[in-house]
Amino acid sequence: VLSWNEVFAATILTIQNRTLPAQVLVTLNQSSEPYQFAGGFFMMIPALIFILFIRRYLFNMWGQVSK
């Protein structure tokens, strides 16, 4: 949640010298819908990769839930 707040603050408060996520959000907002979907997908990829790597660590730490 905090990282999204930082992205939105950077988007709103800066006009020049934006960070990459803030610039991507502004650019995607001005583009057509297929580009918005593609941009949103590519912005999710780093988070998904991080989750896949950290998942094994979390399962080892907390134990796997079995049915």
Mean pLDDT by runs of 10 across the 67 residues of the chain is 71 79 83 89 87 85 69
d(CA 21, CA 43): 8
| pLDDT at res. 6 | 76
SS3 of the chain = CHHHHHHHHHHHHCCCCCCHHHHHHHHHHCCCHHHHHHHHHHHHHHHHHHHHHHHHHHHHHHCCCCC
| pLDDT at res. 60 | 81
| pLDDT at res. 11 | 76
Q: Residue ranges per domain, the chain?
A: 2-62
| pLDDT at res. 65 | 66
